[in-house]
A and B are shown apart, each in its own frame.
Chain A
Amino acid sequence: MRNPFTRPFAVALTVLALASFVAVPVADAAGGARAGNRGGSDHARAGGGGKKVQANNNRADVRTNNVRSTSVNNVNVNRNVNVNVDGRGCCNNGWDNDYHPIATAAAVTATVAVTSAIVGSIVNAPPPGCVPVNYGGMIYQQCGGVWYQPQGPQFVVVNPPY
């Protein structure tokens, strides 16, 4: 699963970076082995999210964000399983919910464009004055009416989650 993502990068990387690329699966394998055995000790690995190779979805087709519904993960939870795709319907509350509901509606993009924060656009850092909040279990940077979500080391403008 990891290889298809990492290989294209490895081609462009220096020898030094290549060395760290090789080290990653080893570290992961060690973490996986520990996960099967012990409790307390592997929290360090769980807490080290920033250092791992991160999936990059910058090149994903814009259509992949136009989600009309999703699978459900639990039987005994009453919820509306349809994702509202009119621009306000982020976060179907699934524990695996990691997709960024960007650019779901042209109308929303046009509206937000006035404030020069186009939904789907990516910045290296959110503007000053943004407040980090947790909504629906996901991290956002809220800047007035504009919401950013972390995407790797960068931030992407998303539709407001509510």
Chain B
Amino acid sequence: MLCKMLVPVLLAAALTAPSLHAQTGAAAAAPPAANPVDPAAIQALRDMGAYLQTLKRFRVSTGLTGERVLADGQKLQHTATARMDVERPNRLRAVMTSARSERELVYDGKTVTLYTPAQKYYSTVPFTGSLTELVEQLERKYGVEVPLSDLFVWGTPAAPLDQIESAMNAGQDFIGGDLCDHYAFRQGKIDWQIWITAGSKPLPRRIVITNRADEARPQSASLIDWNLNPAFTSATFRFTPAKGATAIEILPRKTK
């Protein structure tokens, strides 16, 4: 509704003489942008992605709050946490914990294992490839989502920045004591916000994703903590079955 009203206005603004455009720009401190995609906000994403790709070893922890929408539109919140040890280009260990399940994902560059400690079941499949390829293949082939998988995708062609329909700077905020730049984006049925550490180490510290596909707009919020000098060793990425653990089959995702 609002969009429909805005479009003619924006079109008119775009069609008017450049001098008028300059005048409005000078009159107000922060005039509404004629282009809904602020190039500076896109550049901030590009810079963050490039910086993330330079990080070779890190530990990242996240606390997530998500929402489920019930049949009548009532929403329930739930929480989960995850911790990931990462060594680019092809080593990952993730521990995912929520109320009813704890799971581990271990990738050493040759095989990837999904382990459920409570039942002591594990499934191992051969895989070689980058972490970007890993998160894509796990999702596509097995329906397994890696926590904060965006971290492995930003800064690569798999995270195209030209599909963002709206991008804006939303000011600054403190996340965990760190001053962050706050940006807001729209693409498809997803609205999302990100808080990126201000300064020379542009790390994502908080991500909020709003799903507009449902009128109840279920939203997830992830806080992200970083350790750029982790103490793990290469043994971290080697899966050794616990005593009594059993290998079970992992079924490929069925297409409906």
Contacts and interface: CB of A to CB of B under 8 A. Distances in A.
B250 A134 contact: yes
Contacts of A37: 231
Interface of A: 1, 35-40, 43, 46-50, 54-55, 57, 63-64, 66-77, 79, 81-82, 84-85, 88, 91, 93-100, 131-139, 150-151, 162
A3 to B, nearest CB: 14
Given A69-B68, A76-B158, A135-B143, 11 more contacts: A40-B236, A69-B211, A81-B211, A81-B213, A84-B256, A93-B139, A95-B96, A95-B144, A96-B96, A134-B248, A134-B249
Nearest to A80: B213
Interface residues of B, number: 79
B70 A93 contact: no
A38 B235 CA distance: 13
Nearest to B163: A76
Contact of A133 (B71, B210, B249): B249
B235 A40 contact: yes
B218 A150 contact: no
28 contacts: A36-B227, A39-B59, A39-B233, A47-B242, A57-B100, A66-B70, A68-B214, A69-B69, A70-B68, A71-B219, A73-B145, A75-B187, A75-B209, A76-B154, A82-B213, A84-B256, A93-B143, A95-B145, A96-B66, A96-B79, A100-B100, A131-B248, A133-B251, A134-B249, A138-B101, A139-B119, A150-B118, A162-B253
B143 A40 contact: no
B118 A38 contact: no
B95 interface: yes
Contacts of A40: 231-233, 235-236
Interface string B87-107: 000000001101111111000
A40 B115 CA distance: 17
Nearest to B222: A73
